[in-house]
Amino acid sequence: MKKAPESTSLERAAIFLMSLKSEDAAKMLKYLGPKEVQKLGMAMVNLEKVELKTVHTVYDDFITDTESITSIGLNKDEQIRKVLIDALGEDKATTIIDKILSGSNTKGLDTLKWMDAKTITKIIHFEHPQIQAIILSYLESDQAAEVLMNLDEKIRLDLVMRISMQESIQPAALEELNKIMEKQMGSSKSTQIKAVGGVKCAANILNYLDASVESGLMEALHEKDDDLANQIEELMFVFDNLKKIDDRGIQVLLREIKTETLVVALKAADTELKNKIFKNMSKRAAELLKDDMEVKGPVRVSEVEKAQKEILSIAKTLADAGKIVLGSKNEEMI
């Protein structure tokens, strides 16, 4: 099926939801997690005037029998407000309406997933490092990386090592930790055993850190425990690993990346990776990309690293959805 022109899957999902009745959209949102609701909410807020033919194309992507619609709603803010209130209830929807981030049906530790990194940092700032490590392991990797960045630089290495060496938490300990979080946030929740932490978890968190912070932490970790550092590095996914994604996967990935982001990210890429990108684009698109890269001129290293991190984040999201297959630093693809 033909995709909506110049739109990502997230934008198409936002258009689709905005074209539905609020109660129908709310039913769908109830099945999504905090990250999905946040991203979709932001996408809906950022929607500008949408042409009818684009809506029709989006419907072709989502359903087999296309139905005609006249608009996706003129009062966008009010529609979003009603959708989120219907889905989450007025109390929980208040924060997400203001910041596109909210609490969910879950309490205790799960509630942290709906909070921004600064708020989580304040909540866990004075907790024991082991508790902090468990909480970081429990969060999504990108969210945990933000929290780690907000914590004191002196304790980051200790936390990464604790995360790497833990693999699960006993029910009694999880219940006690939930009580601590409930006390902090005024909520309650039953508990169950949860696998948290491990070397892979640490690697995933490090993947989302700023390159300079990641580099400093890995250097310190090598000095402290070289074997553990090597294990983590083997599981990390870096920009150069995009070479290991097959051509179909690269094509899927490119459809989700903004051109300006790709232009900046490829500034520091080697010839092999650039050629892999170019060959998976149409000849015209590849030529335009090359022209944009030349016109762009010099770019700060920090900007390149930020663009590459953004692309890696998209790649991981696609991999989690089973749409592409990634390879880690030292993983052979077969």
**For 294-325, what is each residue's pLDDT tens digit?**
888 888 888 898 898 889 888 888 887 788 88
- Is residue 277 within 8 A of residue 257, CB to CB? The reply is no
At 94 the pLDDT is 57
- What average pLDDT does this structure show over 199-210? 84
pLDDT tens figures, 107-128:
567 778 778 888 889 888 888 8
Average pLDDT over residues 18-42: 74
Q: In percent, how much of the chain has pLDDT > 70?
A: 76
Token representation of residue 163: 């995360």
The answer, yes or no, to whether residue 327 has pLDDT greater than 90, is no
Q: What is the mean pLDDT of residues 230-239?
A: 84
Q: What is the mean pLDDT of residues 96-103?
A: 46
- Predicted TM-score (pTM) of the model is 0.51
What's the mean pLDDT in 173-179?
73
Average pLDDT over residues 129-143: 87
What per-residue confidence (pLDDT) applies to 234? Answer: 82
Give the pLDDT confidence score for residue 63 in this predicted structure.
60
If you average pLDDT over residues 260-287, what whole number do you get?
92
Measured on CA atoms in the order 43, 44, 45, 50, is the torsion positive or negative? positive
Domains in the chain, CATH or no CATH each: 9-99 (1.10.220), 108-235 (1.10.220.30), 239-320 (1.10.220.30)
Res 106: pLDDT: 35
| Tens-place pLDDT, residues 66-81 | 444 444 444 555 666 6
CB atoms within 10 A of CB 119: 15
| Contacts of 148 by beta carbon, 8 Å cutoff, 6+ apart | 136, 156, 159, 160, 205, 209
Q: Which of 51-55, 94-98, 106-110, 252-256 has the lowest mean pLDDT?
A: 94-98
Tokens representing residue 99 in the block: 């910041």
Backbone dihedral angles phi then psi of residue 169, each to the nearest 5 degrees:
-130, 135
Interaxial angle between packed helices 129-138 and 171-185, expressed in degrees from 0 to 180 and rounded to the nearest 10: 90
How many other CB atoms are found less than 10 A from the CB of residue 207? 20
Asked if residues 181 and 124 have their Cβ atoms less than 8 Å apart, the reply is: no
Nearest to 296 by CA among 251, 256, 255, 261: 261
pLDDT at 275: 93
Least confident of 15-24, 30-39, 244-253: 30-39
Is residue 212 scored above 80 in pLDDT?
A: no
Tokens linked to 20: 């539905």
Higher pLDDT, 9 or 309: 309
Q: What is the dihedral of CA 52, 57, 61, 63, to 10 degrees?
A: 60
Measured between alpha carbons, how far is 43 from 256 in angstroms, rounded to an integer? 14
Residue 251 has pLDDT above 80, yes or no: yes
